[in-house]
């Protein structure tokens, strides 16, 4: 299965021990990780400002993701009612990367439900689905 992880899931995966870190390990071990350039841009910014990680650590994490994931260049943005431009780009990149699911905690993305162009679930829902083998 191809799984896209949004910025906050990737930040949590590196910043905490818990569900997001476990989800990322599971995806890397048994599935294909899909990451868009928009997510990488946001990731660098958030790791620097929110976690205050040194630039060398951020560069190593990004290099690791680029080596392990399917990296999607900025896809053509799709207008999705109710989403800001950044969230729309994250969805467009996941779709362009042929992700089967996008894992996010973003309420605006999760609220799309059937209007979304792909399956969008919380990290917990993706974790449970992958563990069941769905």
Separation of alpha carbons 102 and 106, rounded Å: 11
Domain range annotation of the chain: 2-132
Residue 79 has pLDDT above 80, yes or no: no
Confidence band of 23 (pLDDT split at 50, 70, 90): very high
Taking the model in full, what pTM does it have? 0.91
* Class of the CATH-defined domain 2-132: alpha beta
* Bigger pLDDT: 58 vs 85: 58
Confidence band of 25 (pLDDT split at 50, 70, 90): very high
- Residue 75 has a CB neighbour count (10 Å cut-off) of 18
Residue 32 CA, chain-centre distance (Å), reads 12
Residue 88 has pLDDT above 70, yes or no: yes
């Amino acid at each position: 299965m191809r799984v896209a992880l949004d910025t906050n899931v990737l930040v949590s995966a590196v910043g905490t021990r818990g569900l997001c870190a476990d989800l990322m390990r599971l995806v890397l071990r048994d599935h294909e990780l899909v990451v868009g350039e928009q997510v990488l841009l946001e990731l660098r910014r958030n790791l620097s400002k929110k976690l205050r990680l040194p630039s060398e650590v951020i560069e190593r994490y990004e290099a690791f993701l680029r080596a392990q994931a399917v990296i999607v260049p900025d896809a053509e943005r799709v207008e999705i009612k109710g989403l800001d431009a950044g969230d729309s780009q994250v969805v467009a990149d996941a779709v362009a990367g042929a992700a089967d699911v996008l894992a996010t905690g973003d309420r605006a993305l999760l609220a799309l439900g059937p209007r979304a162009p792909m399956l969008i679930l919380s990290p917990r829902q993706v974790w449970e689905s992958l563990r069941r083998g769905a």
